Structure formats: structure tokens, C-alpha cells
Amino acid sequence: MNRNPILEVKDLEVEFGKGKNRFKAVDGVSFNIYKGETFGLVGESGSGKTTIGRAIIRLNEVSNGEIIFEGEDISGKLSREKERNVKKNIQMIFQDPMASLNERAKVDYIISEGLLNLNKKKSKKEINKEVHNALLNVGLLPEFASRFPHEFSGGQRQRIGIARSLIMEPKFIIADEPISALDVSIRAQVLNLLLELQKRKKLTYLFIAHDLSVVKFITDRVAVIYKGKIVEMAPTEKLFKNPLHPYTISLISAIPLPDPIREKNKRLKIYDSKIHNYIENPPKWIEIEPEHFVLANEMEITKYRKRLK
């Protein structure tokens, strides 16, 4: 894995609402994603993980902080040329394959729409060829191009969504829970496809999920987010071996076990944010061991260090 960051998120804040109803969905989030890696962003529904992904792709406005892609700040107003560059190089695979495709459009138009908008010099023959190749890349037949989305299964529709991203030849893809709406039987197929495409096309992924069993399989590093704040971040193996923050521990305890007897008898660890005395002893973001970061106050830092010995 290349240690040069392709994306840097610095003190990111995203707010919604107005006046008294205004609230922070993302509060001071910072992380780097390196070229060629799969970076996982994990948390329960409403934690802010999708909001971060949508801010990176410029669908959500940034209230404060910076998003730097390949050395350039993309979080504010951009020139038309820079906006085109971001749209080409950063793509998103959406969570729901049933809702993310235009039911009235044929597959060839759905896949080529971004290409048509950003590169109007290409001939129809060239675009058809690229659609043909994009379908082959995701394991679909080229003749599917003339069909409508309702003619496909959920897994096939998600492959169409992946093809729509790939045709732009991006460097960075945000995968927003790309398998959560799919049948269990085809989830592994889509994950293996993403891994295969990453190796072949040298892609970098931000993989957003709530299921840690999936994250363990596909990611190189993981950040755990709770109520808009990242509470722990580490290489995947290290995080699962030595989870420190109570919220991370609670998420890992919820991973289903393949043994029905062990699954029945296991005890879930419920996270209660009230256990933290953050008013009198505020937390700070600290590297507790090499590449392993955690949000903790002084008392917790001492406890975590003892646990790692």
C-alpha cells in the first residue's frame, strides 16, 4: 500500500437545519486515506458516516474544515475545471440499488450519463464501446445495455451501479454500504468483485458500513464513528485484536457467530456514553500505540495503555 494520502479530511464539520434546529451531523472529523487502500468507516445508523461520504463527493456542504484530494482543497467553491476533475476522479456506489437507478432510462444511458456530461467530444460509437467494457468489467453481458433496471435482480442492479462508477475511470470510490440491501447469498460476490476491480484498476476505496464482519473482510484500516465523532482508528487486524473504546467493543460484540450455540449464549456489550466523565476531564485524540488512535481522557488513556501491555 502506498503511504501517500490520496484524500485528507481535516477537522470536518457538517451541519443541517437552521436556527434553533441546527445540529452538527459531523463534528471535527479527521483522517487520511492512502492510495490503493480500502479505508473503512463504521458506525450505527445516524452516526454521520454517510454524511462524510456525501461531503467528500460534494453532495453535502461543508460547514467547517477541509477535504483535500490529491493535494487540492475540494471542500469550498471550485472552478468549473476543478469541479469536472472531482466528478471524474471521485465516484460513489450508493446503498440501495433499487432506488439509485433511473427506472425510466435504459442501462446504456444510466452507465454513460456521467461520461456524456463530462466528455461531449466522444462519439456514440466510442461511448457504446466503453459501456460494453464497463458491463464486462462487472460480470454482466453487453446485451444488458438495452434493458431497463426493473428487469434485473438486486445484485445485478448493484453491478450496474458499479459499472456507472467505473466508466469514469475514477481514482477514488466511496462505497456507501454497497451490500446491505442485497441478499446474503450474493453479498460475497459483490465484495469479491470490488476487491478484484481494486487490484486490476488500482482503485482506492472509502468503504462505509455498519457491519463489522464485512469490514473485517475487505478493509485495510478502520475508523469507528459515534454521533459524528471518530472514537477509534487503527489497522483492521489491530482494531479487532485490541479494541479499546467501549463503543468499538460493543460493535464487535454484536458480530453474529457462525456457531448457533455460541451465538445463543454470547453476551452483548451495550455501550452507554454516560460512563465517560468528559465534562470535568475532556477527551483528546491520541496515538495509544503505533497507528492505533483513540478518543480518550487522561484516566482512560492510562487504562488503555495497561490493557495493551
Spatial separation of the C-alpha atoms in residues 164 and 114, rounded to whole Å: 8
Question: For the chain, what is the domain count?
Answer: 1
Spatial separation of the C-alpha atoms in residues 192 and 266, rounded to whole Å: 30
Spatial separation of the C-alpha atoms in residues 87 and 107, rounded to whole Å: 20
Q: What is the pLDDT of residues 134-153, one digit of tens each?
A: 999 898 999 999 999 999 98
Mean pLDDT of 86-107: 88
Cβ atoms of 93 and 178 within 8 Å: the answer is yes
Mean pLDDT of 67-79: 93
Sheet holding 64-69, edge to edge: 23-34, 5-16, 64-69, 72-73
What is the structure's pLDDT at 54? 94
User: Could you tell me the residue range of the domain that residue 33 belongs to?
Assistant: 5-308
Q: Tell me: pLDDT of 100 over 90.
A: no
- Average pLDDT score, the chain: 90
Mean pLDDT of 143-169: 91
Q: Tell me: pLDDT of 51 over 90.
A: yes
| Strand stretches in 59-117, DSSP E | 64-69, 72-73, 90-93
What's the CATH number where 215 sits?
Answer: 3.40.50.300
Distances (CA, A) of 44 to 97, 178, 212, 222: 20, 15, 10, 14
Closest CA to 40 of 287, 285, 254, 214: 214
Q: What is the pLDDT of residues 6-48, one digit of tens each?
A: 999 999 999 998 888 899 999 999 999 999 999 999 999 889 9
Mean pLDDT of 174-180: 89
Q: What is the pLDDT of residues 240-295, one digit of tens each?
A: 999 999 999 999 988 877 778 877 777 888 887 777 767 778 899 999 999 999 99
What is the structure's pLDDT at 120? 65
Positive or negative, the Cα torsion across 108, 109, 115, 121? positive
- Does the pTM exceed 0.85? yes
